[in-house]
Amino acid sequence: MAPLGARGREKEKMKKYRLTFILLAVLTLFISIGTAQEKSVGLQTEIQKILQKYPAQNAADLDKQSYEILQMGKDGLLSICRLLVPPGKADDSRVRFALGGLTTYVNRTGKEEQRKLYAKAVIKALESEGDKNVNVKAFLIRQLQRCGKKESVRFLKRYLSDPILGEPAVQALLTIGSNEAETILLRSLNAVPQNNKALVIKALGELRSQRAVRKILEYSSTRDRELLNVTLFALANIGDSRAEEVLNKMAVTAGPYERAQAPSLYLLYAQRLAEHGKKQLCVNICREFIRSYMSPQESHVACAALAVMVAVLGEKSLEDILAAMDSPSKEFRMKALELSDRIPGQEATTRWLERLENSRPEVRAEIIGMLGKRGDTSVLPLLLSELKSEVRPVRLAAIPAVVSLGDSTVLNELWPMLQFDSKEELEVLKLALLRFSTPLIVPEAARIMLDVPPLARMVLIEILAERRAKEFVDVVFSQAKTEDETLREAVLTALERLAGEEDLPRLVDMLLGATETREILLLQNAVVASANLNENKESRADLLLAALETSEGKTHLDLLRILPRIGGTKALHSVIEKTRSEDARIKSVAVYSLAAWPDIDALEAVLSVILTTENPTFRYVSLQGYIRLIQGAELMPEEQYLLLSEVFDAAVELEDKKVILSGLSRIKSKQSLRYVAAFLQDPELQSNAARAVTRMALPGDEEELGLVGSDVEAALKQTAGIVQDIDMVNRIKDYLGVLWEQDGFVSLFNGKDLSGWMGNTSGYEADEGKLIVLQNRGGGNLYTEKEFSDFILRFEFKLTPGANNGLGIRAPLDGDAAYMGMELQILDNSAEKYKDLKPYQFHGSIYGVVSAKRGYLKPVGEWNEEEVLARGKRITVKLNGTVIVDADISDAIRNGTLDGREHPGLKRETGHIGFLGHGSHVEFSRIWIKELK
Amino acid sequence: MSGKKLFTRRKFLKKTLAVSAGFTIVPRFVLGGAGFTAPSDEITKAVIGVGGMGRGHLKYPGAKLLAVCDVDENHLKRALEIGGPGVEGYKDFRDVLERKDIDIVHIPTPPHWHALISVAAAEAGKDIWCEKPMTRTIGEGKKVVEAVQRNGRIFRINTWFRFQSQYYGFGTTVKPIKKVVENNLLGWPLKVTVSATTGFNWKFYWSGKTFLKPKPEPKVLDYEMWLGPAPYKPYHPHRVHNTFRGYWDYDGGGLGDMGMHYLDPVQYILDKDRTSPVEIEADCPQQHPDACGSWRRIQLKYADGCMIILDGENKDKNAAFIEGPEGKLFPGLESDIPHLKEKINSLPDPKPQVTDFIQAVRTRKKFTLNEDNAHRTCTIVNLSKIAVRLGRRLHFDPEKQLFIGDEEANRLIHQPMRAPWHL
């Protein structure tokens, strides 16, 4: 309580009743207004009981619960509706779950009676809501949107003029539909305020209300842009010829946005005309549009007109589609070709073939593409002849077309095309050939390989590789010496996929003779692939090792480099031996190769490099390899830990240590955590250690549990102070809460509302995990409902400049807690205005009784952590990890209190815990308590 | 309160009543005389919605960025910095669509805007690159398909696994899977299981919060416009940027996020690009009316007996990705069919696909992942969403694209937009 004068005015009368939770509070309020009070009480208990079951865990439960609620009848339903509160007021999500569930339940087949009952209750709730929050009403109206029928239509009428509820009401009417809904909307149009006209007109337009045309037309000259927009849409969508003039004129008189929309809306209008039987009128409009809108930036309008026309005319539109091929717009032609599939049949095909004959090359290609998709195989002979066209785009279109229409005989026409030398064409050809199965293409590809130009040969090699045609590997090898670089690259690339085990010798030979980097790389891949086909792991590298002995210089290194990709004991020994080479380059490559070794056999050798080398890069690379090997092997966490922690002493550079910490972080064991936690104090390594601690200690994504124990807790607390990422800090603190819970702590604050608290609840607010003392409402005292005697209390708090609050413990609900109970001061010590306070008035002090150590508060605006231990007469206060009060009350007052006043509260053995607000903004969070028995 | 800002755009007020000729029927647009302006060589684009997802679109290669648009000033500022000189910023997408020099419009807004902007872009003659999920409802998807096709536009959805990249945890591209199925090695009908076992993790961290305390709308965000066609609900930061997926009003949780990525290839593999499942069933905890939650299992059955199982709990630890009467296919092309990998090698390739969007725009050939099949894939997502929300077995007519005998489910297919927005 206020330590700075103005005392005594805060004597506050506590309310007589206690709120078990906020829902009940709202409920109680209702009961006191309601009528059948006694009967209600039973019903309310029943409702509370069933609400606790939400959300239902499955459909069967939801059915059962919904059924139970419906058994409560109209009164029960109404009561539940009335438990809704405005968003944020309190957590009414259970109520929303229950109502949402009912909405769905009553929509099941055979539930019409229940649906009526429920809809009527929702209506009744809406009726009796009075001025209650519009968001609550909107929620109820949305339930009607989902389950309402006739009974709801008439009722919703009353909201059409409402500035906010008009919208959901219209949406509900629109969804429910019916003549009556249309009538209601139509009749309301004149009456609703200006701001609601747009939504009513939009709805009438969407309902395509012919009856509304006359009335809507009245708005067609409005200056209200929003209204004009929906008016024009509505008129177009209804498609009544009375609107023609308005829609036509729009293109000239309106603003640019309407003008841009004008053609689309006019076409919509035309389409509706056709639907109403005025087909010819529609077609005339479309033809006119096609004539007028063909420029590149408008041809989409012509497309749309053609699409509408084809939809209306069906097969009769063939001439129009054919004529479209004369258009200069590619977009339009392609649209026409797409629409041509609406007119199947031989007759149309014939017309297309005629059209094909009379078209310029670009259009020919387009038509051929369409014919390929059309599926009419009668055009195949003609398309096959197009393969021989002089014009490349035509050939390009014909290739996929003949493949999709023909069978394997078309291959006979495709093979000769390999004589063409355009890359683009060969690519299309390759895709076409690959559409056939291996026996149809692979032998032939191998056979003609040498007779085609290099570019085509490349395509054939790629086909062999794609199909893993190992039996034809020789012909591919035969091309390996070609002068043509691109071809050579294709060959070497293909060999990786084509070479067999028996091809290893010639590949090794090629590798030994290769000089260009790219070539060496590709050959290394091929060698590795071939060697690894050998089922005997031990002999895979034999050939390479032999070559290694006799090679020197760069070749020697290249061979050494690929050994880890093959593995085997002999190879490993060879690599180990090379790590001791006198030749710096050989040594270096060997160290890298060793560090990259695929299995744990290399571990000892790698470790030996780490321990003996003086080259920092070797050490670092080997450390990385060492960790990778350990992680890759199936070792127990303890073994992993031993192997990793052991090597830490060998770390020299900071980076060495970091990589080991990161390795340790993957081991989820307490041993490992303890080891890493020791580095939380090391300024150079603490952020790495912190990352490692979180990774080890926190629960993982799947079902992986977090680590537990007091050392884990200590490490996490320390880590929370190091980590910068606020989400991570919250994750750590949430998990600490879990640990505390296991340790017997319970949370005093649910983060959402003031459940469990009493007193001046209006001076405090719960907001997403924070308990906020509201400045403008004075704060006042907020007490736990429960009383506590001996306990450990943990909480976090954040001060504002000059903030003043207090923590009451063992306090009665009446009187000044600082005297009638005990107050632990909460104060911004740094504020200028407090500079003359007495020592026993600063933060943490037992007010007037014991002075706290100063200097341990975080700067104002940052979160502080406090722990209060109250055991008998002993009170200990720990602030941000430092004990600032540790006192025995009996000792402290032996010679009278520091402030010289009576503190009868010190004798109390139990009481409430409370925040004692003095009108400054303070935030609390994560409030936990453990009672000591 | 709703959409009042619609026509207060400065630009709009400047130019009004002009232009001489009328429809009669139709005005003729005059673009530099009687001839046609040649299409410029460089394809140009605008990105509408430049939050986290949209920023990625700025740098997609192939087209020159001319405009960015967002209802959040901070997003816009950042995008303009990335975009550099020559890129203009807009708050209202309709101003972007009015620009005649833009060919392609990217739409990485939250899903409740996809349909509106897609349709408006199609009617303005733009080609479209839209983020997944394509639309928030099946009804909206139908409208997009109609508008795109009517206006002859090229449309692509922003997923790609049917034609490139490793297919999540399956470990290979989709092509060999397609070959196996297309050549009937597994028999018919097939059952596909999409779960962590088969390589796909459903992201339930997109769940929404069931209790939110309204917060003041940030000054930099035009919340009214952000909501647009969605119902008005008081502002809370969790409802918007980065976390909007948790709310039915805007998206559909993990299904909305990953659904099309995971399921489009399934639809392609099963050759269901032109149809939809006929029976849908979900096993899940009850869903909140506003916030999306998790689910355990969703089962979608096609008319020919093919089935897609979405196993949210990863319950079936032995599940094959695809199971047919003659064999099973597991991640990495593992199979109970002997020598399957070798067999795959000798099989013919599937039909070639048009996989270069910019090329598609130039040649006016349909992109491989276009409005048609994207709408069907998104329909799988939307059917699943509805099944999860209603918790009962649903029957769907793939032709009419309506549920059979379920009025409430159909009400979720067509959800009215807030005025003045409409399709």
A401 touches chain B (CB under 8 A): no
Binned at pLDDT 50, 70 and 90, residue A88 comes out as confident
Q: Which residues make Cβ contacts (< 8 Å) with residue A101, sequence separation at least 6?
A: A54, A55, A56, A62, A65, A66, B286
CB contact under 8 A, B391 and A104: yes
Specify the 3-state DSSP secondary structure of B87: coil
Nearest to A100 among B12, B288, B347 (CB): B288
Distance CA B228, CA B418 (A): 7
Which residues, in sequence order, are bridge partners of residue A827? A804
Mean predicted lDDT score pLDDT of chain B: 90
pLDDT of residue A227 exceeding 50: yes
B347–A contact, CB cutoff 8 A: yes
Closest to A844 (Cα-Cα) out of A829, A861, A859? A829
Which of A233, A335, A437 is the closest to B346 by Cβ?
A437
Q: Tell me which residue of A269, A268, A199 sits closest to A241, measured CA to CA.
A: A269
Q: Does A147 touch chain B (CB under 8 A)?
A: yes
- pTM for the complete prediction? 0.88
Mean pLDDT of chain A: 91
Look at residue B19 in the predicted model and tell me its pLDDT: 33
Q: How does pLDDT run across B296-334, given as a tens digit for each residue? A: 999 999 999 999 999 999 999 999 999 999 999 999 999
Q: For A434-482, what is each residue's pLDDT tens digit?
A: 999 999 999 999 999 999 999 999 999 999 999 999 999 999 999 998 9
**Predicted confidence (pLDDT) at residue B256 exceeds the cutoff of 90:** yes
A interface test, pick of B151, B339, B356, B402 with most A CB neighbours within 10 Å:
B151
Model confidence at A847: pLDDT above 90: yes
| A731 interfaces chain B, CB cutoff of 8 Å | no
* B385: pLDDT strictly greater than 60: yes
CB within 8 Å: A252 and B22: yes
Please report the pLDDT score of residue A129 as a whole number.
Answer: 73
| Mean pLDDT to the nearest integer, A894-902 | 88
- Measured between beta carbons, which residues in chain A are less than 8 angstroms from residue B23? 248-249, 251-252, 262, 266
Contacts of A203 in chain B (CB under 8 A): 416, 419
Residue of B nearest to A399 (CA): B352
Residues of chain B in contact with residue A405, where contact means CB-CB under 8 angstroms, are none
Find the mean pLDDT for residues A485-496. Answer: 95
Chain B from 230 to 289: CB within 8 A of any A CB: 231-234, 283-289
A807 touches chain B (CB under 8 A): no
For A734, the enclosing helix (H) or strand (E) is helix A726-742
| Interchain proximity A301–B348, CB inside 8 Å | no
The alpha carbon of residue B132 is apart from the nearest alpha carbon of chain A, in Å, by 25
For residue A7, pLDDT beyond 70: no
Which of B25, B402, B421 has the most A C-beta neighbours within 10 Å, making it the best mutation to test the interface with A?
A: B25
| pLDDT of B14 higher than 90 | no
Looking at residue A118, what is its pLDDT?
Answer: 97
Selecting from B152, B289, B405 the residue whose C-beta is nearest the C-beta of A303 gives B152
Q: Supply the pLDDT for residue B9.
A: 32
Which residue out of A51, A146, A196, A431 would a mutagenesis test of the B interface target, given it has the greatest number of B Cβ atoms within 10 Å?
A146
Looking at beta carbons, which residues of chain B come within 8 Å of A53? none
pLDDT at res. A500? 94
User: What is the rounded average pLDDT of the residues A802-830?
Assistant: 93
Mean pLDDT computed over A221-236: 92
**In the 8-state DSSP scheme, what is residue A199?**
H
Q: Do A438 and B346 touch (CB under 8 A)?
A: yes
Angle at A361 between CA A360 and CA A366, to 5 degrees: 100
Q: What is the mean pLDDT of residues A20-39?
A: 50
Report CB contact under 8 Å: B23, A298.
no
| B349 contact A CB<8A | yes
Nearest chain B residue (CA) to A393:
B363
Asked whether residue B31 carries a pLDDT value surpassing 60, the answer given is no
Confidence of residue B206 (pLDDT cuts 50, 70, 90): confident
A296 contacts B392? CB cut-off 8 A: no
Which chain A residues contact residue B19 at CB under 8 A?
251-252, 259
Distances in Å between the Cα of A141 and the Cα atoms of A93, A169, A289 are: 17, 7, 44
Q: Is A599 helix (H, G, I), strand (E, B) or coil?
A: coil
Strands A764-767 vs A911-916: parallel, antiparallel or unpaired:
unpaired
Are residues B27 and A292, on separate chains, in Cβ contact within 8 Å? yes
Q: Is A431 an 8 Å CB contact of chain B?
A: yes
What is the rounded distance in angstroms from the CA atom of residue A372 to the CA atom of residue A366? 10
Q: Range with the lowest mean pLDDT among A554-568, A714-728, B1-15?
A: B1-15
CA distances, A801 to each of A808, A823, A843, A859 (Å)? 21, 21, 13, 10
Q: How far apart are CA A842 and CA A868, in angstroms?
A: 16
The yes-or-no verdict on residue B139 having pLDDT over 50 is yes
| A91 neighbourhood in chain B, CB within 8 Å | 210-211
pLDDT digits (tens, 9 = 90+) for A380-402: 999 999 999 999 999 999 999 99
- Strand order from edge to edge, sheet including B64-69: B88-90, B64-69, B44-48, B104-107, B127-130, B155-157
Contacts of A334 in chain B (CB under 8 A): 152, 364-365
Positive/negative CA dihedral, A51, A55, A57, A60: positive
Interface residue A326 vs chain B (CB under 8 A): no
b or e along B185-200 (b: 16 or more beta carbons within 10 Å of the residue's beta carbon)? Answer: bbeebbbbbbbbbbbb
Average pLDDT over residues B285-297: 96
Q: What is the average pLDDT across A683-707?
A: 89
Q: For residue A18, is pLDDT > 90?
A: no
Which one, of A89, A55, A172, lies nearest residue B231 by Cα? A172
Closest to A747 in 3D by CA, of A932, A933, A926, A931: A926
Q: Does the pLDDT value for residue A731 go beyond 90?
A: yes
pLDDT at position A135 over 50: yes
Nearest of B14, B32, B377, B360 to residue B194 by alpha carbon: B377
Q: Which of B238, B190, B191, B194 is nearest to B213 (CA)?
A: B238
Q: Report percent pLDDT > 70 for chain B.
A: 91
Which residues does chain B have within 8 Å of residue A768's beta carbon, measured at their own beta carbons?
213
* Band of residue A254 on the pLDDT scale cut at 50, 70, 90: low
Q: Which of residues 362-391 of A touch B (CB under 8 A)?
A: 369
Q: Which residue of B has its CA nearest to A287?
A: B25
Print the SS3 string covering A858-891: CCCCCEEEEEEEEECCEEEEEECCEEEEEEEHHH
Q: State yes or no: pLDDT of A21 exceeds 50.
A: no
The backbone torsions φ and ψ at residue B231, rounded to the nearest 5 degrees and listed phi first, read -60, 150
User: Which of A104-118, A174-188, A284-298 has the lowest average pLDDT?
Assistant: A284-298
Determine the pLDDT at residue A37: 59
pLDDT at B148 over 60: yes
Would you call B32 an interface residue with chain A, using a CB distance cutoff of 8 Å? no
Contacts of A332 in chain B (CB under 8 A): 152
Asked if A108's CB is within 8 angstroms of B392's CB, the reply is yes
ipTM of the complex: 0.91
Residues 6+ apart with CB under 8 A from A17: A28
> Does A396 contact chain B (CB < 8 Å)?
no
Q: CB–CB of B420 and A168 under 8 A?
A: no
Give the type of residue at A848. Answer: G
At A776, the pLDDT band (50, 70, 90 cuts) reads confident
Q: Tokens representing A62?
A: 């939801």
**C-beta atoms of B286 and A56 within 8 A:** yes
Q: Number of residue pairs across A and B with CB atoms under 8 Å?
A: 258
Residue B24: what pLDDT? 40
Contact in structure between A111 and A118 (CB atoms under 8 Å): no
Whether the per-residue pLDDT at B4 is higher than 90: the answer is no
Q: In this predicted structure, what is the pLDDT of residue A258? A: 72
- B34 to chain A, any CB pair closer than 8 A? The answer is no
Minimal CA–CA distance to A769: which of A790, A755, A753, A758?
A: A753
Sign of CA pseudo-dihedral B66, B70, B76, B81: negative
